Amino acid sequence: MNFSKGLSSVRGIRRFGTITRVLFKHGLGDVGERLFSVRDGKSRDEADEEHLFKAGFPSPRRIRLVLEELGPSFIKLGQLMSTRADLFPPEYIEEFKKLQDSVPPIPFGDVKAVIEKELKRPLDSVFASFDPDSIAAASVGQVHMARLFTGEKVAVKIIRPGIEKKIREDVRLMYNLAEKVERAFEVGRIIGAVNLVKEFERIIFRELDMLIEAGSIEKFASNFKEDDEIYIPKVYWEQTTKSVLVMEHIDGIKMDDVERIQAHGIDPRDVALIGLRSFSRQLMQFGFFHADPHPGNTIVMYDGRVSLVDFGITGYLDDETMRQIANLFLGYAEHDYDMIMDALQEAGLINDETMDLTAFRIDLKDMSEAFYGRSLQNISVRDVYDQVMQLVLKYHVHLPRNLMLLLKTFIQTEALGKILGSDASLLEVTRPYARQLLQRGIDARSMLKNLGRDARITGGYMKTVPRYVHDILKQTARGRQAMELRHTGFESLNAGLEKSVNRLTVGMIIAASIIGGAMILNSGQKILEFTLDWLGFQNISLTALLGVMGYVVATVLGLWLVLSIFRSGKL
């Protein structure tokens, strides 16, 4: 992406002017001056930067007010920042959480125009009735009630007209600002301002596509189709487009309305257990979870079932991550810190090259032991989350986005459980699902699936490796590349092998001398007999002399070999 595009249009220049004005309005003029004034490539000295921080820069509240005034795109960016406790201190996270999509609804005429443009039909030919007043309005879209000609009551979600173009322009400006922030402030480089904008860009444009959300709803419906506790609304695909989502309207009670739930004869604690079981299945059975389970998105139906709505934010976990999460849950449930540490290392979150694992384990255990055996009423996942973040920051652990999303979802799930008065233990509810996942990982079907996958990967390697080898050799033959092989550390091995081979050779010579001498002495044939008047011998043959010499050679070499082995101390 070309970050400078935001400056190439008149609107981009005006938008920068607006940002500067808003920064000065909320007492952040020093920030605006450092970001936008020309300094001939020179930055403030460290003393000046320290003065800014001592003066209260940057104030979380002022930053939140700036984001609110700059509009929907920056509000959404702030909402993303509120989920990144691994990057921002707690006071910033709490302030960013105050950012709400409190925007006025768009006029009914604009809603009607969007629907008719998308569906290419008049509104009254699509819906038998359509409520012109919205039931929910956010920065990206809003929701209206309607009824189809077949009688079904539906919720219609419409993307605000022109919002995509505005967000694209704002994203370009965000990239430009992020580059300036990273150049002007050390903290900008630490948090990775440009990468934060990249993450925001990916999330926001998924949220603008109603077909993606509709697909998520269908996937959840398939996952829970045989579950009699969870109900997923139906998508009406004939009326759904990229900017319009038509789904079944769910009649029921918001999950935080405990009095109404009880008035309908439903035990709120049962509802909490349904939510915990559902969340456990999402994590450890499907690897696909609803990442925004706040009360407005979780409806208690009048028959006691729980319905999830608004699937704009979802998270994915691959098989390996699911297994690691299951090991973490089981490790905590069974006080097995070896299992916990192994799971964290397999996930690549910790390693002995970049941190002191002994100290990390001690801190982790000190943090965790205080929460064992306590129900949702006696434990705060928020406290656990804060302490986890302290470990993350202390040991510089990088948490992938999906794990951060998962931690945020845990907090929301725990909050709902407390509202409903649940006395359940989160670890006890998730334990059986974790066991099932780990058992499923070693059953015959999974093993065959993994073998098949590994075979496909190996087959791909076998196809590509010869081509790569051919290219390397071809470049080498043309003199464009050179190959140099070096090996070190084999000197002692070579010396040991040489000594062993020498001893083996001497042993073979000894054996051959003994066998040869014995065969010659036992032979009846005599060659070159001569008389020797020495030591009582008178007649002796050459063959007998050679046989005796064989025994002598064998004896001498044998004594030498035995002595050398004894001297080496390696008998």
At 537 the three-state DSSP class reads strand
User: What phi and psi values does residue 143 have, to the nearest 5 degrees?
Assistant: -120, 135
Neighbours of 247 (CB within 10 A): 24
Distance between CA atoms of residues 166 and 352, nearest Å: 46
**DSSP structural state of residue 282:** I
Strand positions, DSSP E, 235-302 = 244-248, 253-254, 288-290, 298-300
Following DSSP, what letter does each residue of 70-97 receive, concatenated? Answer: H-HHHHHHHHHHTT-TTTS-HHHHHHHT
Nearest Cα residue to 394 out of 356, 366, 365, 368: 356
Neighbours of 497 (CB within 10 A): 11
Distance between CA atoms of residues 433 and 286, nearest Å: 11
User: What phi and psi values does residue 135 have, to the nearest 5 degrees?
Assistant: -100, -10
- Indicate the residue type of 188: G
Neighbours of 331 (CB within 10 A): 20
- Decide if 281 contacts 433 (C-beta within 8 A): yes
- Decide if 130 contacts 244 (C-beta within 8 A): no
Which tokens sit at 336?
């097995």
- Indicate the residue type of 544: A
Distance between CA atoms of residues 325 and 119, nearest Å: 43
Torsion, CA 534, CA 535, CA 536, CA 538, rounded to 10: -30
- Indicate the residue type of 416: L
Tell me whether residue 292 is one of the annotated catalytic residues.
Answer: yes
Nearest Cα residue to 330 out of 441, 438, 446, 410: 438
Which is catalytic among the residues 86, 170, 292, 310?
A: 292
Strand partners, 170: none
Residues in Cβ contact with 22 at an 8 Å cutoff, skipping those fewer than 6 apart? 66, 69, 70
Neighbours of 35 (CB within 10 A): 21
**DSSP structural state of residue 6:** G
Number of H helices, E strands in the chain: 23, 13
Distances (CA, A) of 198 to 82, 173, 176: 16, 12, 12
User: What phi and psi values does residue 530 have, to the nearest 5 degrees?
Assistant: -145, 160
Nearest Cα residue to 281 out of 212, 232, 247, 235: 232
Distance between CA atoms of residues 177 and 316, nearest Å: 30
Distance between CA atoms of residues 58 and 174, nearest Å: 18
* Catalytic positions: 292
